[in-house]
Every structure is written in C-alpha cells, then in structure tokens.
Chain A
C-alpha cells in the first residue's frame, strides 16, 4: 500500500494503518532499533511503541514521507530505551560506540542546553558537507549502523569509512567551536 493511502488510513482512524505501516516499514524500523539497542527482542518492542506513537501523532500531523517520520520516532524511542537499559547495565548495540566517537568530537566541558540552536547548527553543518561524507556521517550517527555494514553498502573499506567519519567529526568540532562556544 502506498504511503498516501496509509496516511489516509491514519487520518480516518482506521487501525489497519498500523498493520500496513508494519508491513511496509517493519524491517526498516527494526534495523534502526537493532543498531541502537543490539537486541532483536527489544527492537520488536520498540516497533510496537513506534507504531502506537505514530497512531497518536497522525492526525494532527500528516507526514509527507512516512518512512522518515516513522524512522525518526523509532530512533528516539530506541535511544530512550538505551538509556534505561544502560542504567540497568544491559545491551547497548552501536550506541555506546557512537557516543564514544562523538565524545572525541564534542567534548564534555560546556553546556549544550539550547537544543534549537544546536539543531540549527547541525542543519547548517550538514548542509555544507559534501554529500558523500554527509551520507556516511548520517549512516553512522543517525542510523547508528556498524562501520562494517556502512563499508559494505557503500563499497568502501572499513578504514576509508572510519577515516571519513573522523574527518567529518573534526570538521564538526571546529564548526561548533567557531559557531558560538558550545565547547
């Protein structure tokens, strides 16, 4: 079923919207959640939560790209779950590794409380990045995809991917330093 028809089902409060969303995007959503959590079982639970969240959000929202909309929801839910599980010292998937890599990029010495400002800075930064580097960066830190998998899907060596990510993180660090003392 096409996106537009699924969204129409949500608008009509027809619960088959959830089934159709799962049919169409279940594998995609699971991949994101597994990357973040490292557990297929936890990922399945996240999918259910994400679809219920979508049910609660549409309407009033009417996403133009249902895949991106659902992907964002499950990413947020999986990160929340990761935090809970970290407190219980369980699981972790790629999240811990990504955080370590980003720590090197951003440091911990200052406050980053203004989310809106940070989001705009990140949008500007990503906009200015070369497309190929941006894609690698987002595969790693948006999808939290393992480096090995990124390398395979992009037809590059793991070393080349790591090098590209390192350069992009360095650029991000310089950019954030220059843009307003967030470090």
Chain B
C-alpha cells in the first residue's frame, strides 16, 4: 500500500469530533427529532423536595438526594438562552391534526415567575452529548438499586470513559437484561422482551389512546419505585411517519402541587417506556434531572403574546430550516400550539421557553395525503 493510501485510510480512523456532521445538512426533509413532550427522564427526586423551589446537589451527594432550605432569590445574572440543536434532522412532529398530539402539559399560565438553574453536568470530550456528573461509584449504586428492584443479579459491568471521568456503565444481568447508567444519571433498562399480562396492547402503531392509558397505568404501577414516580401523570400520543402510520410514545411525569416543579418534571423528568415488535416491554428510561441542577434564582416571565411577537419577528431558536416555512416567515395562522417547557441552554443553564408548534409547508415533504408537519420553535420565557 502506498503511503498516501495509508494516510487516506487512517484519516478515516481519526477522532469523530473532527468529522463534520454532514448528515445534518443532507437529511433535512425528515423530522428526526421528536420534541420532548413531557420529557424522557424521571423525576425521582422531586417527591423529596419539601415546599421550595430551591435545589442543590453536588457531586458528593448520594444519588436521589437534594438539599434545600434556601430562600427564594431574584436571578440577577445574565442568562445564556442559546439552545444547541447539534444533532441531525430538525425537531418536529407529523400528525393529521394538532389534536393528535395533545398531552397534559402542566398549567403555568397563572405564574409570573419561575426558577432557573445551572446544570452541573459537563459535556464529554467526544461532543456526543455524553455528560459526566455522577462518579463511577454513584453510577454503580444506581445500577445496583435498579437491579435489586427488578430482582436481577448483575454479572458483568463495563465502563465507558470520556474526558473528565467515566461517562457510562453498562451492567449485564443474569437474565440478559442490561442496565445502563449515564454520567448525567439517566438510566436505561433494556429487557429481553418482558411480557405484559393478558389484555394489554403495547405497540407503536395499532394501540389506541384508551389501550395506551391502560398500559401506562400498569407500567407506572409496576415500575413506580424504579422510576421514582410516586404520583405519576401518564400520557401517550401518536405522531405519524411519512406514510401516515402511527408512532406511539409512552411517557409519564411526576405530579406536584407546585406548578414549577411539575413543569420541570414534565420537561426534563419522567419515565419513558418502549415496546418491542411483539408488544413486550423492551426499554424503560428514567432520570433524576434535579441531582445535576443548581438553583440560580427566580426570573419574571414574559407573556405568551410577547413571545409570539418575538416569534413572528424572527427572534426564535429552532432546528427547522427557514425554507420549510410556508411563506419564509412565521405568521399567526401558522401557530398551531403554544406551551412551555424547561430546556438546558448551550451554556448549561436550565430555564423555561415558550414552545411553538408551527405548521410547515406540506409541499416540502413527501407525506401521506392530508398529513401535516409541525416544526418546533422556541422563545425564551424569561424577562431579561
């Protein structure tokens, strides 16, 4: 082999972070990312928080504990509201009507302010969104806890390192169930297809709303301790593939008397359940986002009307290419829905954003007749 051939070949083995993410530019026509409707993560610690929005958890804290007791303060620092959409595709959902995407979003309409936080989790060096926060010991404890609750025995443990420490452990159990704990605390259990009792319909397509609610009631009850959901609000919705087939999602978050806590759980907490092709339980994913959040202070909120004005003026953040808009800009009639979620900014701050579902130009996509494509746009909800 010539040296130049070897050089060309070995260039292909260089670190992934040096390789430009071209798939993001080339695959623009498919909404590859679903919005986090209610979040993928659990809120195990929310139930432990006693009557305050003040949270703090440091590296030295055992998993699932928080410390509170601080007074509410005004946030005086300038917030970094820039979002990072650094993955592929754009964030959107397809449905025949926006009502198909109805979910029980916590009502925060009466609030004039909300707490903001700083994320203590650090991105890994491989730029893949991997975070390092928990120690290896804490990750092992979390995996062992999950194994104990599932009646599993861990037989082998594998660790993955990133700059800054171990970023994930994978524990193989005797029944071939795999428990993965990431550095951020997110935990995923991969089953070898766990049968549900007779009478439950648990599929991506073909399960209706009522059946999905029934499945979620069962799963939230069966795995309540594992996911940390003491008082779960479960919900399911089915967006569509380009061909119009349903792609159902099964999620839950923790109910709270405090709307701010509930919104945080809805946005960044909760649990997700996924079936395999035979209707068996394949995956449970949950997390405790609060363990890596540090309270900064409370911020005043702008109104939905103010946010919509900003949106229409082009002052928004989105992964949706502008040429997918019907007229190149957002008009009032394009806004199909507005709600609010917490998101973590590129600068590591966790704050509320108005989330707008914008109906996109259907002619840009090869979709089933009558199908609509809703792109997601964000406007920071905090007054600065």
Contacts and interface: CB of A to CB of B under 8 A. Distances in A.
A12 B247 CA distance: 19
A144 to B, nearest CB: 8
Contact of B10 (A12, A27, A111, A115): A115
B282 interface: yes
B193 A12 contact: yes
Nearest to A143: B22
Contacts of B276: 12, 14
A58 interface: no
Interface in B4-53: 4-16, 18-23, 25-27, 30, 32-34
A151 interface: no
Contacts of A115: 6, 10, 13
A31 B20 CA distance: 14
Contact of A72 (B12, B170, B247): B12
Interface residues of A, number: 54
B18 A68 contact: no
Contacts of B32: 1-2, 24
A159 interface: no
A112 to B, nearest CB: 5
B14 A28 contact: no
B20 A139 contact: yes
Contact of B19 (A110, A122, A138): A138
A55 interface: no
Contacts of A179: none
B7 A31 contact: no
B200 interface: no
B6 A68 contact: no
A8 B32 CA distance: 16
A99 B3 CA distance: 9
A1 B240 CA distance: 11
B274 interface: yes
Given A24-B27, A31-B26, A99 B5 contact: yes
Interface string B269-282: 00000101100001
Interface string A47-89: 0000000000000001011011001100110010001000000
B27 A27 contact: yes
Interface in B250-297: 274, 276-277, 282-283
Interface stretch (B123-131, B136-144, B206-214, B340-348): B123-131
A141 B11 CA distance: 7
A142 interface: yes
B178 interface: yes
A36 to B, nearest CB: 10
Contacts of B85: none
Contacts of A123: 14-15, 18
A171 to B, nearest CB: 14
Nearest to B127: A65
A177 B5 CA distance: 18
Given A99-B8, A112-B7, A126 B15 contact: yes
B98 interface: no
A126 B25 contact: no
Nearest to B178: A11
Contacts of A65: 16, 128
A162 interface: no
Contact of B26 (A28, A102, A103, A111): A28
Interface string B175-192: 000100000000000101
A2 B33 contact: yes
A32 to B, nearest CB: 8
Interface string A95-115: 100111011011110111001
A166 interface: no
A118 B26 CA distance: 31
Contacts of B14: 119, 122-123, 126, 142
A65 B18 CA distance: 13
A35 to B, nearest CB: 10
A145 B16 CA distance: 17
A74 to B, nearest CB: 10
A100 B8 CA distance: 11
A79 B6 contact: no
A108 B2 contact: yes
Interface string A126-145: 11000000110011011100
Contact of B7 (A14, A64, A118, A135): A118
A84 to B, nearest CB: 13
A102 B7 CA distance: 8
Contact of A16 (B18, B33, B128, B277): B277
6 contacts: A62-B170, A67-B21, A79-B8, A119-B14, A135-B20, A138-B18
Given A64-B129, A122-B11, A143-B22, 15 more contacts: A3-B87, A11-B178, A16-B277, A24-B30, A28-B23, A83-B5, A98-B8, A99-B2, A99-B8, A103-B2, A112-B6, A118-B7, A123-B14, A126-B18, A153-B25
